[in-house]
């Protein structure tokens, strides 16, 4: 079936400095509902925000560039979701809302003119134009704010909101005022062979945000982002739990990520749950973190059933982060478990290489809600990059002293099978586990010039198999008993199928007595 094509130049495009909004929007409106294709031939087009409706293909030819105007007065106020809350903000540059059967495709460029908007983030609000100040006061009068809210009601470049069966392919999406591509409250969305580009210093310059949406596929896409590259969210705090719409059944495959705060990130907005996610055959280069799950008390929600397979990371500050203390203090007493307590369980990392990284992994649940079922299989981590290569906190948890090795705390169960961790000489322990239920090491290898390969402090069950005991008499593991728990504070150690005298290489170390 051949789609009826509407060339925007037939709608009165003038080759001058005037805006092309009316012509393009009229063509899109003519297609909506009746079906067909809106075609942008080669050339540069300037427009205010646009809206795409049902049964529409929007095709940008090779050599076509759609530039959105740098003028906040051209962007009306709309209701959508910004950073986990349903509230008002500036109209997305290209808005696909409450629509079905939409395709945005071609080899053209969609440019959000983000530099104009980013300037407002870098200056004090008292220096805003008076009209913008009044506008923001009007927008924010009914909106929620928290400690991390800045000018976060800026327009996303492409927002797919309340839609079904949407495909984005071939195009380049760049310079977004806020997030680049936001998929929210939508089902059956495909993003394929897309180039997403924001400068590294673009504030809130996420690549793709998948937010309370289902059946989303991201494939063969390159992302160079100013913030998280691919981010999965499901609402914030009490409102997010009341809305209760998870992000689920998501596949990310054959993607390359360059720069950004994280390669694939879940959270911190986890209130509606995130589950059933597969990420495979990807590379992350020069990102702050690689695979990152972040939440905190008050968020609530469960993150579960995630699989990360066949991934290569290079020059990443910390390749693996599971953080229940996002922007909060890691040293805290247990609190009552409520619906506001986040949980993470059943996360598998398989066949992954991380080279030239600073911290091997940060894996921390909560003392009242230990995160369960974290597994690493066939993973090689070279954590020999100096800390000052990036000067970044590995996880943005307060009170944590950075280290090169793997750090585990408050986990129900975590396993390392055929895992190799390399840290610099004299830099400390390759793997530290604290206050956790079960730690399994099978074929765990390290390169450490001194001290034990493993420190287990307050681990109830430590299982070591298929590992090699040092032949120079040095310890393989130091084990310290913890607070009273399942084993009355004593740690049980099971050894099976190791090489060398592992029984002699696992040393019980009593906590130091502190004189007061």
**Hey, CA dihedral for 29, 33, 35, 37, is it positive or negative?**
positive
Complete DSSP assignment for 233-273: E---HHHHHHH---EEEEEEES-EEESSSEEEEEES--TT-
Q: Which of 318, 315, 269 is nearest to 290 (CA)?
A: 318
- Burial pattern 41-57, b for ≥16 Cβ within 10 A else e, equals bebebbbbbbbbbbbbb
113: which 2 tokens?
């003119």
Q: What is the DSSP string of 344-373?
A: EEEEEEEEEEEES-S-SEEEE-BTTB-BEE
H or E element that contains 143: none
Query: How far is it, in rounded angstroms, from Cα 291 to Cα 299?
Result: 20
Residue 496 CB: number of other CB atoms within 10 A?
A: 10
Q: What is the DSSP letter of 512?
A: P
Say which residues have a Cβ less than 8 Å from residue 429's Cβ, sequence separation at least 6: 403, 405, 448, 451, 452, 453, 454, 455
Q: Give the span between the Cα atoms of 21 and 60, in whole angstroms.
A: 15
pTM comes to: 0.95
The tens place of each residue's pLDDT in the chain, 516 residues long, gives 467 899 999 999 888 889 999 999 999 999 997 999 999 999 999 999 999 999 999 999 999 999 999 999 999 999 999 888 999 999 999 999 999 999 999 999 999 999 999 999 989 999 999 999 999 999 888 777 665 556 788 999 999 999 999 999 999 999 999 999 999 999 999 999 999 999 999 999 999 999 999 999 999 999 999 899 999 999 999 999 999 999 999 999 999 999 999 999 999 999 999 999 999 999 999 999 999 999 999 999 999 999 999 999 999 999 999 999 999 999 889 999 999 999 999 999 999 999 999 999 999 999 999 999 999 999 999 999 999 988 888 888 898 988 999 999 999 999 999 999 999 988 889 999 999 999 999 999 997 667 899 999 999 999 999 999 998 888 999 999 865 444 556 789 999 999 999 999 999 987 554 343
CA distances from residue 442 to 166, 198, 363, 374 in whole angstroms, order as listed: 44, 42, 18, 14
CA angle in degrees (0–180, nearest 5) for 458-360-228: 115
Q: Residue 29 and residue 60: Cα distance in Å, rounded?
A: 17
CATH number for region 1-161: 2.160.20.10
CB hemisphere CA count around 333 (13 angstroms): 2
For the chain, give every domain's residue range: 1-161, 412-516
Residue pair 421/405 in contact by the 8 Å Cβ criterion: yes
Rg (CA), the chain: 25
């Amino acid at each position: 079936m051949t789609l009826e094509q509407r060339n925007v130049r037939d709608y009165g495009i003038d080759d001058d400095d005037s805006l092309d909004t009316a012509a393009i929007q009229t063509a899109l409106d003519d297609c909506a509902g009746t079906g067909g294709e809106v075609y942008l031939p080669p050339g540069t087009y300037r427009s205010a925000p646009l809206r795409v409706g049902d049964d529409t293909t929007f095709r940008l030819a090779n050599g076509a560039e759609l530039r959105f105007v740098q003028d906040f007065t051209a962007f009306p106020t709309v209701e959508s979701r910004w950073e986990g809350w349903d509230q008002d903000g500036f109209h997305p540059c290209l808005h696909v809302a409450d629509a079905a059967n939409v395709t945005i495709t071609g080899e053209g460029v969609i440019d959000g003119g983000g530099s104009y908007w980013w300037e407002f983030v870098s200056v004090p609000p008292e220096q805003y134009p008076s009209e913008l100040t009044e506008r923001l006061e009007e927008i924010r009068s009914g909106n929620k704010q928290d400690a991390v809210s800045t000018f976060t009601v800026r327009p996303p470049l492409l927002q797919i909101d309340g839609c079904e069966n949407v495909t984005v392919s071939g195009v380049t999406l760049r310079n977004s005022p806020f997030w680049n591509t936001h998929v929210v409250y939508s089902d059956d969305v495909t993003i394929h062979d897309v180039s997403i580009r924001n400068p590294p210093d673009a504030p809130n310059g996420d690549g793709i945000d998948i937010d309370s949406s289902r059946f989303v596929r991201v494939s063969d896409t390159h992302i160079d982002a100013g913030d998280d590259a691919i981010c999965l969210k499901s609402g914030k705090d009490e409102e997010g739990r009341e809305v209760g719409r998870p992000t689920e059944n998501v596949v990310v495959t054959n993607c390359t990520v360059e720069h950004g705060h994280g390669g694939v990130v879940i959270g911190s907005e986890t209130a509606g749950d995130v589950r059933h996610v597969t990420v495979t055959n990807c590379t992350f280069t020069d990102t702050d973190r690689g695979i990152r799950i972040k939440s905190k008390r008050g968020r609530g929600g469960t993150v579960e059933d995630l699989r990360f397979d066949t991934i290569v990371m290079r020059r990443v500050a910390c390749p693996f982060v599971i953080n229940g203390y996002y922007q909060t203090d890691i040293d805290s007493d247990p609190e009552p478990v409520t619906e506001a307590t986040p949980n993470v369980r059943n996360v598998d990392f398989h066949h992954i290489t991380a080279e030239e990284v600073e911290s091997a992994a940060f894996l921390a649940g909560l003392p009242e809600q230990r995160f369960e079922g974290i597994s690493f299989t066939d993973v090689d981590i070279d954590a020999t990059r100096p800390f000052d290569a990036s000067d970044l906190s590995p996880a943005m948890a307060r009170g944590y002293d950075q280290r090169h090795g793997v750090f585990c705390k408050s986990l129900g169960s975590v396993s390392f099978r055929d895992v190799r961790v390399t840290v610099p000489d004299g830099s400390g322990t390759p793997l530290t586990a604290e206050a956790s239920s079960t730690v399994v090491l099978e074929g765990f290898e390290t390169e450490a010039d001194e001290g034990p390969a493993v420190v287990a402090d307050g681990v109830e069950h430590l299982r070591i198999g298929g590992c090699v005991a040092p032949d120079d008499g040095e310890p393989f593991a130091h084990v310290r008993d913890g607070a009273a728990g399942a084993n009355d504070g004593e740690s049980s150690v099971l050894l099976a199928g190791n090489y060398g005298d592992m029984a002699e290489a696992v040393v019980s170390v009593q906590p130091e007595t502190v004189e007061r």
